[in-house]
Amino acid sequence: MQNVLLNNGVEMPILGFGVYQIPPEQTEQAVSDALNAGYRSLDTAAAYGNEEAVGRAIKTSGIPREDLFVTTKLWISSAGEENARRAFHTSLRKLGLDHLDLYLIHQPFGDVYGSWRAMEALHREGTVRAIGVSNFHPDRLVDLIDHNEITPAVNQIETHPFNRRTADQQVMRERGVQIESWGPFAEGRNNLFSNPVLSGIGAAHGKSVAQVVLRWLIQRRVVVIPKSVRADRMAENLDVFDFELTDDQMASIDAMDTGESLFFDHRDPEVVSRFGKLQPNT
């Protein structure tokens, strides 16, 4: 597995396993299958409702803790200095861990600054190796960086061939923040898995569309965390280190960019308000 070096010297696998939308009752099996397939980085969130199941799979795997990289996220309803600290310890307990590798602010809403102060303190205390954010557009990211002590190690944002986020990545590169893709396959939207450009490139390498997309992201030094509940696809999504896309192939995938989200715009007041009211069972 290739790693990326985060801005505080911590190494993070460039490819991991995401568990969004895996129902809690299926998550233990899915994570066990992923660990068996060879994944060592896991991405969950308090809002996904499946941290306990992730924790059970980690425990039964017997894999040494230092070989794993575990990420979870703070939901908006737990924002603020005291609440964030409490939510962090709840997540740790649910995961059955004594420290996290990466803790992210899930959405750029609510008392983000209070949350960040709590996360800075948790990092200094050594219970989390790296702290970061998710769904931050460059303006919000730069504001957080410029008015706090610790620069986020990671910003996890929607990134896939239809929304490639190169301008965002450039800002992150300049500021030392690692880009991480969520929705690398756009969750299959826009018929991604039967896209002719991606299928053609896959055929040239004897690889699937999913593998081509992950390879394109990895060659751009974007961390990826594809989700699947199927063991065959988990293995397929890991098998992306034995081929290389040419500059022309990279450029033809780049050309698929629409510059827009296929999901939601975090700068839309309706989205801000709707997300702020969500009360997942964290």
Q: Which residues are catalytic?
A: 48
- Applying CB under 6 A, what is the total number of residues that bind ligand NAP? 28
State how beta strands 41-43 and 69-74 pair.
parallel
Footprint on residues 110-139 left by ligand NAP (CB under 6 A): 134-135
Footprint on residues 11-30 left by ligand NAP (CB under 6 A): 18-21
185 binds ligand NAP (CB under 6 A): yes
Angle at CA 136, nearest 5°, toward 133 and 138? 125
Number of H helices, E strands in the chain: 11, 10
Q: Are 225 and 172 in contact (CB under 8 A)?
A: no
Q: Are 13 and 40 in contact (CB under 8 A)?
A: yes
Angle at CA 34, nearest 5°, toward 33 and 37? 85
User: Is 206 exposed, middle or buried, given 0-12, 13-18 or 19+ CB atoms closer than 10 A?
Assistant: exposed
Rounded to a whole number of angstroms, the minimum distance from the CB of residue 17 to ligand NAP is 8
Binding mask 37-76 for ligand NAP (x = CB under 6 A): ------x---------------------------------
Q: Are 31 and 53 in contact (CB under 8 A)?
A: yes
Rounded to a whole number of angstroms, the minimum distance from the CB of residue 224 to ligand NAP is 8
Q: Which stretch binds ligand NAP (CB under 6 A): 51-59, 61-69, 187-195, 264-272?
A: 187-195
Nearer to ligand NAP, 122 or 209 (CB): 209
Nearer to ligand NAP, 91 or 134 (CB): 134
Rounded to a whole number of angstroms, the minimum distance from the CB of residue 21 to ligand NAP is 6
DSSP helix/strand/coil, 32: helix
Residues that bind ligand NAP (CB under 6 A): 18-21, 43, 106, 134-135, 156, 182-188, 193, 208, 210, 225-230, 233, 236-237
